[in-house]
Amino acid sequence: MGKKIRVLVAKPGLDGHDRGAKVVANALRDAGMEVVYTGLHQTPEMIAESAIQEDVDVIGLSILSGAHLTMFPRLVELLAERGADHIKIIGGGIIPDEDIARLEEMGVSRLFGPGTDTRDIIEFIRKSCADSVS
């Protein structure tokens, strides 16, 4: 059967704007990936736990509430604590440029702003999984 790229798409925190997350989830599915969609109002703890049980290669978070500087670092920390720091974290939403640089320094692989072509996200995921997935 061969390995498939598995991605968890989640919306942490309190904002309910899930259109972006759904568009990305659908695009990744259409690109042949297995997408675990966990829906709204996730805590970083829930996301880490789900990602571990699902053995995903990548976690994609969508944040439009301004809570990115809390959510992303907490998730990085939780994955490291649980021995799952091989899982790459990407994200999207409304995130100011200066915060993007900070978050990428803290261990977030890549952040995609509004207007991103879903093909760029697909390509990024494929490239970053190339060493673990045939």
Candidates 15, 17, 54, 74: give the one binding other proteins (CB under 8 A): 54
Task: State yes or no: residue 28 binds other proteins (CB under 8 A).
Answer: yes
Angstrom distance (rounded) from CA 95 to CA 68: 7
Q: Kindly state the smallest distance separating residue 91's Cβ from other proteins, in Å.
A: 19
Task: State yes or no: residue 62 binds other proteins (CB under 8 A).
Answer: no
Residues 75 to 134: which contact other proteins by CB under 8 A? 82-84, 86, 131-132, 134
Using DSSP's 3-state secondary structure scheme, residue 64 falls into coil
Q: Which stretch binds other proteins (CB under 8 A): 29-37, 68-76, 91-99, 109-117?
A: 29-37
Q: Nearest-CA neighbor of 13 among 56, 55, 81, 72?
A: 72
Using DSSP's 3-state secondary structure scheme, residue 88 falls into strand
Angstrom distance (rounded) from CA 54 to CA 79: 13
Candidates 15, 17, 52, 100: give the one binding other proteins (CB under 8 A): 52
Measured CA distances, 83 to 4, 76, 80, 87, 102 (Å): 22, 11, 5, 10, 23
Q: Kindly state the smallest distance separating residue 101's Cβ from other proteins, in Å.
A: 27
Q: Which residues bind other proteins (CB under 8 A)?
A: 1-4, 6, 25-26, 28-39, 41-42, 45-46, 49-50, 52-55, 82-84, 86, 131-132, 134
